[in-house]
Amino acid sequence: MSDKKQAFWFIIILSVLVIIPFLGETIFYSKGEPREAIVGYAILESGNWILPLNYGMDIAYKPPFLYWMIAVFSTLFGGVTEFSSRFPSAISFLAMQFVVFTFFAKRKNVETAFLTSILLLTSFEVHRAAVACRLDMLQVSLIVISLCLLYRWDERHCRNFPWLAIILMACASLTKGPVGSVFPCLVIGIYQLMRGRAFGRTFLSLFAIGLLSLIPLTLWFVAAYYQGGQAFSDLMMEENTGRLLGKMSYESHNNSVWYNFLTLVWGWIPWVLVLLIASFYLKWNGFHNSLKKATSIQQLKNAWFKFRNLPPIQLFTWLVIIIIFIFYCIPKSKRSVYLLPIYPFMAVLIAEYLLALAQRGVKFFKFSAIFFMSLCILFTVIFVIVRCGLLPDSIWGAGRHAAENIAYMHALQEIKLSFSKWILIFLPLIAAACIFFALRNHANARTLLYGLGGCFLSLFIVMDGVYQPTVLAVKSDKHLADQVRGYVSDGVIYSYSKMSFYCTNFYLNDRMRHFEKLLPAGEGYVLLPENLNDEFLNRFRRDYKLKEVFLTEKRSCDLRTRIYMYKFNANSCTPKDVQ
């Protein structure tokens, strides 16, 4: 891949073909995606682009930039769907992919940039975020591109203001809060100080850049406060300051520092397995000797001197990883997606490492190729066995999740597959065959390395295009929404729970309302989780006549329990108008 233009267009076409076609294949199956998508729906329904309310009264947890994009793309595509809701994340990933390739192809070399793009496309954590209707990929893309632009601004001796970086940082802040401006300024500021720039000039210029980038967020906050008042202000403070300081009113993804290390290992599947295999082929004598020497203060000083004098792009890459990783070790709230901004820069280091291994010889890559070729074959064979009904239901036992696992297996058995779907299913076999012939023809290490990339791409494609849509459709609460629609074709449906029925509400076109907050008069229907059934009956049976309509057989994907539906009729004859 010595031709930069050829490699660039190959990455563009490959990324589009891997990401875009399957965005709408999987229906929503968890609370996260429909929670974001429904806000875009509320914008289009109400015309309120500042502080749209879903569920009748719920304020979105984050600033509105993603929701604006969902609304705009949904208008172009004819409605809020799974595809239109995930499209902003996909476009953001593609933009980041192209910028990262161009950035490192210029400052490293084309082959490193090319392999970096393949690594990003086949990293589990990055790929998952790129095809999900969540805030994370949009914010990450804006942060990463801003970092690249600020580095270019530094290369040009900080002449003029980096207005494009400021605009993108402003959009990042409007997506998920002030960290969208903090990270780029913090990283480039520390980089400039380590490169010898005066503290005063660095601080003043980056303070001005950061301040300018936060103006749109401030204007939105003022306009939203005017509409939402103290309730809006309290929510924003909790989701930003409270989450950082560990002072939230509820536990939100509280994890130890080790969680961040583990999540990076998990996020780099399947490449982490390649690196694990590589560890068996390395010579560790030098590493052990370096550990012994590391106790010397002089050795530490030498290491710090070498770090500070790394080539500029290498120093910048390491600083992005270290600073953002340490930053997210501080709050109690930790999630795997918080570390997404460091993945493109980790990908560069991993790409350089793999290419260095390729120069040493072919032995390691032969073993890796055989291992993953076998995995692709096994993956397809298992599907054929399931498809033919050769696995008995009894293999899942009789545990808590047995019924769901059996349902997943039956879905794979019974789904009707088109000719194009069968082609996708056999892609891993085609990839395995390509690796087999490469091994037979004594291919070099680089050919086997890219063969591994193709192998992983085939697995991601068949997962996105066939297996995931089939299996997760069983898990989705869209079936619950269809069941409810049979009783209430239009009008309000109520819910009683500590959290909203996000998935059900999306597929009911935002017709759900909170029973306990509105206490409706007249008659209607209410949904509630099985574990709150006794509480609900004890609390409301005096004021309402309650008749059980159904209890679902499977658990809700949002509330992780079965769902009751009751028909209620208020004892009071005074009607209450509920919007």
pLDDT for the residue numbered 576: 47
Q: How confident is the model at residue 287 (pLDDT cuts 50, 70, 90)?
A: very low
Kindly report the average pLDDT of the chain as a whole number: 90
**378 and 395 share one domain:** yes
pLDDT at position 288 over 90: no
CA distance 488 to 437: 59
**150 and 20 share one domain:** yes
pTM over 0.85? The answer is: yes
In this predicted model, what pLDDT tens digit does every residue of 399-422 receive, in sequence order? 767 888 888 999 999 889 999 999
pLDDT at position 133 over 60: yes
577 within a domain of the structure (yes/no): no
**241 and 175 share one domain:** yes
41 within a domain of the structure (yes/no): yes
Sign of CA dihedral 34, 39, 43, 49: negative
509 φ/ψ sector (left φ>0, alpha ψ -120 to 50, else beta)? left
Query: Which residue is associated with the tokens 């229907």?
Result: 525
Q: Omega of the bond prior to 270 within 30 degrees of 0, cis?
A: yes
In this predicted model, what pLDDT tens digit does every residue of 323-332 receive, in sequence order? 999 999 988 8
Q: How confident is the model at residue 563 (pLDDT cuts 50, 70, 90)?
A: very high
Q: Which range, 57-61, 249-253, 290-294, has the best average confidence (pLDDT)? A: 57-61
Q: Which two tokens stand for residue 328?
A: 């997210």
65 within a domain of the structure (yes/no): yes
Q: How confident is the model at residue 243 (pLDDT cuts 50, 70, 90)?
A: low
In this predicted model, what pLDDT tens digit does every residue of 374-392 receive, in sequence order? 999 999 999 999 999 888 8
pLDDT for the residue numbered 427: 96
Q: How far is CA 350 from the centre of its chain?
A: 21
- The better pLDDT of the pair 1, 422 is held by 422
- Enumerate residues 6+ apart whose C-beta is below 8 A from 144: 96, 99, 100, 341, 344
In this predicted model, what pLDDT tens digit does every residue of 491-541 receive, in sequence order? 999 999 988 899 999 999 999 999 999 999 999 999 999 999 999 999 999
CA distance 37 to 32: 9
285 within a domain of the structure (yes/no): yes
pLDDT at position 9 over 80: yes
CA distance 378 to 400: 27
**296 and 171 share one domain:** yes
Least confident of 191-200, 224-233, 431-440, 532-541: 224-233
CA distance 404 to 553: 10
In this predicted model, what pLDDT tens digit does every residue of 434-443 receive, in sequence order? 999 999 998 9
**510 and 415 share one domain:** no
**288 and 383 share one domain:** no
**329 and 453 share one domain:** no
CA distance 16 to 437: 28
Domain count, the chain: 3
Q: Angle at the Cα of 367 (from 424 to 124), degrees rounded to 5? A: 45
**278 and 170 share one domain:** yes
In this predicted model, what pLDDT tens digit does every residue of 95-120 receive, in sequence order? 999 999 999 999 999 999 999 999 99
Phi, psi (degrees; rounded to nearest 5) at 40: -60, -40
CA distance 41 to 71: 7
**Strand pairing class (563-570; 53-54):** unpaired
Residue that terminates a domain, selected from 475, 506, 528? 475
**344 and 393 share one domain:** no
Residue that terminates a domain, selected from 475, 504, 531? 475
Contact 520, 550 (CB under 8 A): no
**467 and 351 share one domain:** no
Range of the domain at 458: 363-475
Q: Which two tokens stand for residue 129?
A: 């975020």
CA distance 568 to 290: 73
DSSP 88-101: HHHHHHHHHHHHHH
Tell me whether residue 102 is exposed, middle or buried, using C-beta atoms within 10 angstroms of its C-beta: 0 to 12, 13 to 18, 19 or more.
middle
- Enumerate residues 6+ apart whose C-beta is below 8 A from 182: 210
578 within a domain of the structure (yes/no): no
579 within a domain of the structure (yes/no): no
CA distance 216 to 224: 12
pLDDT at position 252 over 70: no
User: Shortest CA distance to 261 belongs to which of 161, 207, 328?
Assistant: 328
Tell me whether residue 455 is exposed, middle or buried, using C-beta atoms within 10 angstroms of its C-beta: 0 to 12, 13 to 18, 19 or more.
buried
**455 and 484 share one domain:** no
274 within a domain of the structure (yes/no): yes
CA distance 37 to 30: 12
% of the chain surpassing 90 pLDDT? 74
pLDDT for the residue numbered 294: 53
Eight-class DSSP state of 548: E
User: Shortest CA distance to 471 belongs to which of 565, 396, 531, 386?
Assistant: 386
N residues, the chain:
579
**Strand pairing class (523-529; 493-495):** parallel
Residue that terminates a domain, selected from 324, 358, 392? 358
**149 and 208 share one domain:** yes
